[in-house]
A = this chain, B = another copy of it.
Amino acid sequence: MGERLSGGTTGAASRPRLAPAPLPSFPMPSFSFQCPPGTRDFYPQDLLRKRYIEKLWRDTSIRHGFEEIDGPTFEHTDLYTVKSGEGIVSEIFGVFSGKDEAGVKEMAAKLAAGSGAMAPYALRPEFTPTLARMYAARAAQLPKPAKWFWMQNCFRAERPQRGRLREFGQWNCDVIGEGSHATDVEVTSCCTDVLASTGLTHLDLQIRLSHRDAIDHVLHRLGVPDEHRDSARSLLDARTKLGERQFIERASPLGLSETGVGVLLDLFRNRRKAQPGAVASLLDCATKAGAVAEQGVPTEWGVLAAIQDEVATTPWHEWMWFDLSIVRGLAYYTGMVFEVIAEGERAIAGGGRYDNLIETFGGPPTPACGFGMGDVVLGNILQDRGLMPEGRDLLEALSRSAASLRPDVFVISNGTPEADAALRPLVARLRRGVESRAWLDRADRKPWQADRYSVPPLHARYSYKVTKNIGKLLQDAAAQHARYAAILEGGERATLKNLDTREERKDVPIDALAAAVCARP
């Protein structure tokens, strides 16, 4: 019985119980129960470990300017059958109230007819449909973009095994109402920031980026007709579970010849670190192999190139790779997609752009991008690598100050090209913090130690608006209750305003901004 981290005791797949029949009145004979298979009992030590992961999730979300939301644990079943795709629908737990007689009758009739047991409600197998429903319901009043995070449990009726349970913790971050490649990078950066804060490094895992349209273009070029595109994508997503022979056999009826499969697999092996030139070189290979049209670079490759340039300005460029084999199982993705991969484990996280989903749920056309990360695979990895604190260390790590819900600093460009270019890289650095020399020199260095940062990670925000009206942006900063506004005067220096006291310091070097903000009164 796996008693791994991130997990307390897992219910065994079988269900050994004594004396099952309920008895009418007290006193009763003794008997014992286990938790349902694939769910967990968290005794105090088990739960502290889960809370440790959740604290990293929460603090990182807040520092990246995400606000927390929540929805019901169960939803109308139709919310999932509409758009999540076959894979998820087959794993839904049905929910019904015995008091809802009409609903139960309808369900009983369906069950009797053997037509797929659909209850009126379903335990959420994922959160994105709820988020899309919520955004759609209030799109007119909500900010653009809305940056939302969510942390609760999800439920899937899968066979329990390592890294996969029937109830698991999940963290989502989504930016809704912004379609820029900068948003794609901000979302993947937030995901990477959490992983770095656990003590994992770019040597332990990779953030692998791709683009749905790039894959579709390749499939089209290799002969897959439109009507088989979805099936071909599903086949690609299941690729690692199949042998090469089996893969070729299943690919053939979808229009992919053995040669086509070869081209595809070559392309998939051709992973590139996301540094200058990576996309061009990947595109060059793909074109030579005939997987991309010679004339006119397709738009999605332009998006990948823009992502590549943006990634270069973040603290995360060592972590990010381009990998066209990343397809993602969910049906609703439309653009950039990514997965976080540690060798030999299930994906730690995954996400991407889903620009049509809000509209599907009755909202206006709204671009959106986000990701989800579970607690089970990450917990296993941290536990295995000694990256999970224990005892007093764990209590202290969990008692340490949380990220401030008031933004520590709201960064504004003065409108010059130098300031514009410096804005997002500065925000990313402020959110990251600076690890201290003393800590880096420690032989017994651990990620949860109190002396890790000389400049702590900050809650930094900026405006997604294109306005250059600084007065208006300062109003936004105040409305969001930021403590400081930093106005970039070019690429090197900033004016720092304390929005509580109205004090102002001019000409602060941008490398000194964080320290100035941290010197709280």
Contacts and interface: CB of A to CB of B under 8 A. Distances in A.
A391 interface: yes
Contacts of A44: 67-69, 148
A18 interface: yes
Nearest to A141: B43
Given A32-B361, A362-B31, A72 B111 contact: no
A36 B74 contact: yes
Interface in A1-52: 8, 11, 15, 17-18, 20-23, 25-28, 30-36, 39-44, 47-48, 50-51
Closest 10 CB pairs of A and B: A32-B362, A39-B72, A97-B157, A44-B67, A108-B111, A22-B81, A395-B405, A98-B117, A42-B70, A392-B481
Given A31-B361, A78-B22, A119-B96, A41 B73 contact: no
A47 B30 contact: no
A360 interface: yes
Contacts of A51: 68
Interface in A185-228: none
Interface in A51-73: 51, 67-73
Contacts of A83: 28
A363 B32 CA distance: 8
A331 interface: yes
A76 B36 contact: yes
Interface stretch (A131-139, A284-292, A437-445): A131-139
Contacts of A72: 11, 35-36, 39-41, 167
Given A22-B78, A97-B93, A43 B404 contact: no
A476 interface: no
Given A43-B134, A51-B68, A356-B27, A99 B91 contact: yes
A446 to B, nearest CB: 17
A94 B95 contact: yes
A75 B391 contact: no
Given A33-B78, A36-B75, A39-B72, 14 more contacts: A28-B83, A31-B361, A31-B362, A35-B71, A35-B72, A41-B69, A41-B70, A41-B71, A43-B69, A44-B69, A73-B153, A94-B119, A98-B117, A99-B157
Interface string A416-441: 00000000000000000000000000
A408 to B, nearest CB: 10
Contacts of A36: 72, 74-76, 121
Interface of A: 8, 11, 15, 17-18, 20-23, 25-28, 30-36, 39-44, 47-48, 50-51, 67-76, 78-79, 81-83, 90-100, 104, 107-108, 111-112, 116-119, 121, 123, 130, 133-134, 136-138, 142, 148, 153, 155, 157, 167, 230, 331, 356, 359-363, 391-392, 395-396, 398-399, 401-406, 481
Given A82-B28, A360-B28, A404-B399, A116 B98 contact: yes
Stoichiometry, as copies per complex, reads 2
25 contacts: A8-B70, A18-B362, A20-B78, A22-B78, A22-B81, A28-B83, A28-B360, A30-B359, A32-B362, A35-B75, A36-B72, A39-B72, A40-B71, A41-B69, A43-B138, A47-B69, A73-B155, A74-B93, A74-B123, A92-B97, A94-B119, A112-B112, A391-B481, A396-B405, A398-B405
B406 A399 contact: yes
Contacts of A35: 71-72, 75, 130, 133
Contacts of A142: 43
A471 to B, nearest CB: 21
Contacts of A130: 35, 41
A36 B76 CA distance: 6
A470 B76 CA distance: 59
Nearest to A82: B22
Contact of A70 (B33, B47, B107, B123): B47
A75 B351 CA distance: 31
Nearest to A392: B481
Contact of A401 (B50, B401, B406): B401
B68 A47 contact: yes
A55 to B, nearest CB: 10
Contacts of A17: 76
A134 B40 CA distance: 11
Contact of A133 (B33, B134, B399, B405): B33
B111 A104 contact: yes
